Amino acid sequence: MKKIGIVGGVGWPSTLDYYRLLCTAANAHFEAIGTSLPYPTPPMTIESLDMHETRGYRAQPGDSDAAWARYDGAFRDALLRLEAGGCDFGIIANNTCHTRLHSITRGLRLPVVSILDEAADAARRIGASKALVLGTQVTMRAGDYAAVLCDRGIEPNEQLPGEAVDTLQALIDAEFYSGCTPSGRAGLLDFCSRHVGDPEETIVMLACTELPLAFPEHGDAASFVADGFRFVNTTAAHVQAALRIALGQRSL
């Protein structure tokens, strides 16, 4: 199997979920083809960043590359360490930084699998026509998810009011970055009730890798239905793509 390099720690609960999902999905694959016990798992190296630091480096969508230089550099340096450690490809267990992926990966030899592309493909596979993207302030204010969704014929939501974006960021900070709480799930569902016009028509993109932790019963599904809403689990979509590459079922 190809060796996976994971940039994690942003935040740590979803990094744990990435590792768990990669291992359990690999086990299921090898069990299905009759491999003897213990079932194989992909070789992996995790570079865990300090979220307190990276949050402090963040600029705003539309700011110059110079304003983002420390943020981009922190992720690029982590990917360079993974490359030096013999990883065949990388994934970053975080949605926010993918708004800067073009800059982060500039000059790297290590291929990096985009969570934006994999999540948008998951939405297309279930026939979504409209999508509400939920994530951090940066993710929701940048146009990156809107662009990849439009490329696949999916209409993204109009940008939510600043107050709503700030409310969701506060919910993520308080209820998800240390592991999802019951009030975190309730708060997320309340947010969906307020901002999803037609649950039959609009799919909710959980575009923060911590948000799927609100639905542990659906943790390994790239898309699922819960509490009357259709969701795309960006973590699971990303993991499934990485495992297929590691197994040689898909090219980089």
Secondary structure (3-state) at 92: strand
pLDDT of 111 > 90? The answer is yes
Residues 210 and 161 in one domain: yes
Q: Looking at residue 171, what is its pLDDT?
A: 98
Alpha carbon distance 180, 11 (integer Å):
12
Q: Which pLDDT band holds residue 252 (cuts at 50, 70, 90)?
A: confident
Residues 35 and 52 in one domain: yes
Alpha carbon distance 65, 48 (integer Å):
24
Domain membership of residue 225 (yes or no) is yes
Alpha carbon distance 51, 174 (integer Å):
14
Give the mean model confidence (pLDDT) for residues 83-102.
98
Alpha carbon distance 5, 72 (integer Å):
17
Give the mean model confidence (pLDDT) for residues 115-139.
97
Share of the chain above pLDDT 70, in %: 100
Q: Total structural domains in the chain?
A: 2
Domain membership of residue 193 (yes or no) is yes
Domain membership of residue 102 (yes or no) is yes
Residue ranges of E strands in the chain: 4-8, 44-48, 89-92, 130-134, 155-156, 202-206, 223-226, 229-233
Residues 44 and 138 in one domain: no
Q: Which pLDDT band holds residue 137 (cuts at 50, 70, 90)?
A: very high
Residues 135 and 104 in one domain: no
Domain span at 120? 116-234
**Cβ neighbours around 195 below 10 Å, total:** 16
Give the mean model confidence (pLDDT) for residues 5-25.
97
Domain membership of residue 129 (yes or no) is yes
Residues 124 and 110 in one domain: no
pLDDT of 218 > 90? The answer is yes
Q: What is the pLDDT of residues 149-202, one digit of tens each?
A: 999 999 999 999 999 999 999 999 999 999 999 999 999 999 999 999 999 999
Residue 141 is inside which H or E element, if any? helix 137-141
pTM of the model: 0.97
Q: Which pLDDT band holds residue 100 (cuts at 50, 70, 90)?
A: very high
Instruction: Count the alpha carbons within 13 Å of 26 in the hemisphere toward its beta carbon.
Output: 24
Name the average pLDDT for the chain: 97
Residues 219 and 143 in one domain: yes
Residues 86 and 107 in one domain: yes
Residues 137 and 47 in one domain: no
Give 249's contacts (C-beta < 8 A, 6+ positions apart): none
Q: Which pLDDT band holds residue 1 (cuts at 50, 70, 90)?
A: very high
Closest CA to 100 of 80, 121, 114: 114
Domain membership of residue 252 (yes or no) is no
Give 180's contacts (C-beta < 8 A, 6+ positions apart): 13, 210, 213, 214, 216
The CATH number for 10's domain is 3.40.50.1860
Secondary structure (3-state) at 45: strand
Secondary structure (3-state) at 231: strand
pLDDT of 241 > 90? The answer is yes
pLDDT of 233 > 90? The answer is yes
Alpha carbon distance 29, 39 (integer Å):
9
Give 88's contacts (C-beta < 8 A, 6+ positions apart): 2, 3, 4, 5, 111, 246, 252
Q: Looking at residue 196, what is its pLDDT?
A: 96
CA distances from 250 to 6, 35, 192, 245 (A): 18, 21, 34, 5
